[in-house]
Chain A
Amino acid sequence: MIVKVLGTGCKKCQNLETKVKEVIAKNDVKAEVEKVQEIADIMKYNVMMTPALVINEKVVSTGVIPKDDEILTWLKEGK
Chain B
Amino acid sequence: MKKLSLILLSLPVWILLYFNLESITDFLIYNLLGMEKGTHLTETVWFFVFEVPKVLLLLVLIVFGIGIIRTYFSPERTRKLLGGKREFWGNILSANLGIVTPFCSCSAIPLFLGFVEAGIPLGVTFSFLIAAPMVNEVAIVLLFGLFGWETAALYLGTGLLIAIISGWVIGKLKLERYLEDWVKNIEKKDNIEYNEIKYSFEQRLDLGIDAVREIVGKVWLYVVIGIAVGAGVHGYVPQNFLAEMMGKSAWWSVPAAVLLGIPMYSNAAGIVPIVQALIGKGAALGTALAFMMSVIALSLPEMIILKKVLKLPLILTFIGVVGSGIILVGFIFNLIY
Contacts and interface: CB of A to CB of B under 8 A. Distances in A.
A64 B211 CA distance: 10
Contacts of B197: 60-62
Contact of A48 (B75, B186, B193, B207): B75
Contact of B210 (A11, A48, A62, A64): A64
A60 B194 CA distance: 11
A12 interface: yes
Nearest to B111: A48
B113 A43 contact: yes
Interface residues of B, number: 25
Nearest to B195: A59
B65 interface: no
Contacts of B74: 48-49, 62-63
A11 B105 CA distance: 12
B192 interface: yes
Interface in A22-79: 39-40, 42-43, 46-50, 59-64, 67
A43 B107 contact: no
A48 B106 contact: no
B110 A47 contact: yes
Interface residue range, chain A: 20 to 34
Contacts of B83: none
B107 A49 contact: yes
B192 A39 contact: no
Contacts of A62: 74, 76, 197
B109 A46 contact: no
B282 interface: no
B308 interface: yes
A79 B129 CA distance: 39
Given A46-B192, A49-B74, A62-B74, A39 B107 contact: no
B102 interface: yes
Given A43-B114, A64-B207, A50 B107 contact: yes
Given A43-B117, A62-B197, A49 B192 contact: no
A8 B109 contact: yes
A47 B114 CA distance: 8
A8 to B, nearest CB: 7
Interface of B: 74-76, 79, 102, 104, 106-107, 109-111, 113-114, 117, 182, 186, 192-195, 197, 206-207, 210, 308
Interface of A: 8, 10-13, 39-40, 42-43, 46-50, 59-64, 67
